[in-house]
Structure 1
Amino acid sequence: MYFIQPTRNIPNLEHVLNTLPSLQMINIEDLHLYDPTIIAIADVNDFLHYQWSLPTIVIGDETQGTELSQAWELGALAGWIWTRLPAQLEQSILKIDAQYKRNQDSRDLPSAAELQKKLLPNPIELQNYKVETLFQPSAYLSGDWYDYWKISDKEIMFYLADVSGHGVTSSLLTSWMAAFHGRSKTPRELLKKLNGMLVQENIEKHITMIAGILNLESHQLKWSSAGHYPPAIIFEPNQPPRVLNTSSFPLGLTEDLEIEEFECVLNKHARFIICSDGALEPFDGGLNEQFGQLVYHLQNQSFEAPEHVADDIAILSFRRMN
């Protein structure tokens, strides 16, 4: 941390410097040369006069209550009295520094959320198909994710994943998946590789996922599931919904993960839809009741995510157009 050399005489200055030998003494005229994210300690008079942007703890005389209040209004992190500094000065500064860093992280969340959204796949024109999506984090960052990309002129690969928990760690795993997936050519291969890396790195998170490949010409769909709920659903005109139930473990729990691959053909005007479990939250009742209501609203195209949700929501749908 920095200590800015006061421009006035401070009788108690030597005592402060002896208490904090790790401080780096710097001059006001050199402030532009130093890291603007490191906390500085300075005399309140200098802070008010120069109004620099460094995060600063200000110190004043006993008669300078007004000046200390003004410094607080200008963004000072704390205000102390030269003759009455905290008994454990270094620990007090470390606490202020930790709180400052937490506050900075919170301020960065909106920007981080925008960056995360930019990692989502761009809209894509597909032969015979339309892609429909919904992405709504419960807070700034989401642990739910979907992606899709062409692996040939007539095939598209996709997945929808739900990382356990919320917050920065879960959202970082979604970014990791976005960077990793391109090496895989089948759903089973993708899930196996992701599982192996999660187990190997001992990341204390698990991921449920549905991954698949759709042939845009033959309309053949191959998919695999890793412990994901709700299951994928196929809607066809004048037909009851087809719920594609599977049974498996989520990724990241065991090395010996068995992944089955399933196949079907999408008929004309069929919709294949996968959702994260946050899509169940708008509905009342137990899990079965919630799923039944979700299926009803998806079938009637009346699903609407609430403005404020308790869990992240992601939905990915492929609609055959002919």
Structure 2
Amino acid sequence: MYFIQPTRNIPYLDQVINTLPSVQMIQIDDIDLYDPTIIAIADVQDYLIHQWNLPTIVMAFENEGTALAQAWELGALAGWIWNRLPANPEHSLLKIDAQYKRNQDSRDLPSAAELQKRLLPNPIELTNYRIETLFQPSAYLSGDWYDYWKLSDKEIIFYLADVSGHGVTSSLLTSWMAAFHGRSKTPRELIKKLNGMLVQENIEKHITMIAGTLNLETHVLKWSSAGHYPPAIMFEPNHPPKILNTSSFPLGLTEDLEVEEFECVLNKHSRFIICSDGALEPFDGGLNEQFEQLVFHLQNQSFQAPEHVADDIAILSLCRMN
């Protein structure tokens, strides 16, 4: 940490410096030469006059309460009295530094969220089909993810995944999936590849997922599930919703993951929809009641995510137009 040499006479200066032997003394005129992320200790009057950008703990005399208040309004991290330092100033500095770094991390979250959203797939033009999506994190970063890409002019592959838990670790895993799925060719290959990498890295997280392929000419849809809830849902005109239940384990629990592959045909104006479990959160009742309401609103195309949600929400829908 830095200690900025005061420009006025401070009777207690030597005593303070001896109490803080690890700080580096610097001059006000040289402030621009130093790391702007390292905390500085400075006299409150110098801070008010020069208003530099270094994160700063200000020092004041006992009768300078107004100056301390002004420094606080300008962004000072803390205020100490020259002749009454904290009982353990080195420990107090470490606590202030740790809190400052946590605050800086929090300020970075909006930028991190924008970067995460840029990793989502761009819309693609498909013959006779439309892909619709919804992505709404509960905080800045999301542990839900979807992706899709063309295998050829007549076939696409897609998946929707839900990482256990919340926070930065879960969101980093979504970026890991986006970077390392290896452009797999089949749902089974995709799930096996991600599962193997997750088990190998021994990350204490699991991931549920539904992955599939769609042939744009034959309209055959093949999909596999890795412990994902809610299940995929098929909507067809003049037919009740079809719940496509499966049973399997999530990714990351075992190397010997059994992956079944299922198949169906998307008829005209059909919709194949997969959701993360956060899509259940807007509805009341138990799990079954929530799922029934979700199906109702998806069928009637009336689902609306609340502005503030308790869990991340992701929805991926494949719609056959003709």
TM-score, normalising length: structure 2: 0.97
Q: State percent identity of aligned pairs.
A: 85
Secondary structure of 1:148's counterpart equals strand
Report the counterpart of residue 106 of structure 1 in structure 2. 106
Report the counterpart of residue 200 of structure 1 in structure 2. 200
1:133 aligns with 2:98: no
User: Which stretch shows the higher mean deviation, 292-301 or 52-61?
Assistant: 292-301
1:269 aligns with 2:245: no
Q: Deviations over 1:93-130 (max 9, x none)?
A: 11111111111122222222222111111111111100
- Looking at structure 2, the residues matched to 177 and 121 of structure 1 have their Cα atoms a distance apart, in angstroms, of 12
Report the counterpart of residue 184 of structure 2 in structure 1. 184
Letter in 1 for 2:11: P
Letter in 2 for 1:3: F
| 1:8 positional shift | 2.1
| 1:16 positional shift | 2.0
Report the counterpart of residue 215 of structure 1 in structure 2. 215
Report the counterpart of residue 79 of structure 1 in structure 2. 79
Letter in 2 for 1:308: H
Secondary structure of 1:183's counterpart equals coil
Report the counterpart of residue 290 of structure 2 in structure 1. 290
Letter in 2 for 1:28: I
- Looking at structure 2, the residues matched to 34 and 253 of structure 1 have their Cα atoms a distance apart, in angstroms, of 48
- Looking at structure 2, the residues matched to 62 and 16 of structure 1 have their Cα atoms a distance apart, in angstroms, of 15
Q: Deviations over 1:146-178 (max 9, x none)?
A: 111112111111100111111111111111111
- Looking at structure 1, the residues matched to 305 and 28 of structure 2 have their Cα atoms a distance apart, in angstroms, of 53
Report the counterpart of residue 119 of structure 1 in structure 2. 119
| 1:63 positional shift | 2.0
| 1:33 positional shift | 1.4
Gaps of 5+ in 1: none
- Looking at structure 2, the residues matched to 194 and 221 of structure 1 have their Cα atoms a distance apart, in angstroms, of 21
Letter in 2 for 1:280: L
| 1:72 positional shift | 0.9
- Looking at structure 1, the residues matched to 155 and 25 of structure 2 have their Cα atoms a distance apart, in angstroms, of 63
Q: Deviations over 1:60-110 (max 9, x none)?
A: 112222111111111100011110000100110111111111111222222
1:32 aligns with 2:32: yes
Report the counterpart of residue 303 of structure 2 in structure 1. 303
User: How many equivalent residue pairs?
Assistant: 322
| 1:21 positional shift | 1.9
Secondary structure of 2:204's counterpart equals coil
- Looking at structure 2, the residues matched to 19 and 156 of structure 1 have their Cα atoms a distance apart, in angstroms, of 66
- Looking at structure 1, the residues matched to 85 and 299 of structure 2 have their Cα atoms a distance apart, in angstroms, of 67
| 1:19 positional shift | 2.1
Report the counterpart of residue 173 of structure 1 in structure 2. 173
- Looking at structure 2, the residues matched to 206 and 131 of structure 1 have their Cα atoms a distance apart, in angstroms, of 27
- Looking at structure 2, the residues matched to 34 and 90 of structure 1 have their Cα atoms a distance apart, in angstroms, of 21
Letter in 1 for 2:178: A
Report the counterpart of residue 239 of structure 2 in structure 1. 239
- Looking at structure 1, the residues matched to 157 and 140 of structure 2 have their Cα atoms a distance apart, in angstroms, of 27
Letter in 1 for 2:306: P
Runs of at least 4 residues of structure 1 off by over 6 A? none
Secondary structure of 1:182's counterpart equals coil
| 1:23 positional shift | 1.2
Q: RMSD of the alignment, in Å?
A: 1.2
Letter in 2 for 1:188: R
Report the counterpart of residue 65 of structure 2 in structure 1. 65
1:20 aligns with 2:26: no
- Looking at structure 2, the residues matched to 169 and 152 of structure 1 have their Cα atoms a distance apart, in angstroms, of 33
- Looking at structure 2, the residues matched to 187 and 25 of structure 1 have their Cα atoms a distance apart, in angstroms, of 61
Q: Deviations over 1:178-220 (max 9, x none)?
A: 1112332211111111111111212111110001111111111
- Looking at structure 1, the residues matched to 103 and 278 of structure 2 have their Cα atoms a distance apart, in angstroms, of 28
- Looking at structure 2, the residues matched to 146 and 140 of structure 1 have their Cα atoms a distance apart, in angstroms, of 17
Report the counterpart of residue 93 of structure 1 in structure 2. 93
Letter in 1 for 2:256: D
Report the counterpart of residue 227 of structure 2 in structure 1. 227
TM-score, normalising length: structure 1: 0.97
Letter in 2 for 1:89: P
Gaps of 5+ in 2: none
- Looking at structure 2, the residues matched to 195 and 56 of structure 1 have their Cα atoms a distance apart, in angstroms, of 47
Letter in 2 for 1:292: E
Letter in 2 for 1:255: E
User: Which stretch shows the higher mean deviation, 30-39 or 269-278?
Assistant: 30-39
- Looking at structure 2, the residues matched to 62 and 293 of structure 1 have their Cα atoms a distance apart, in angstroms, of 63
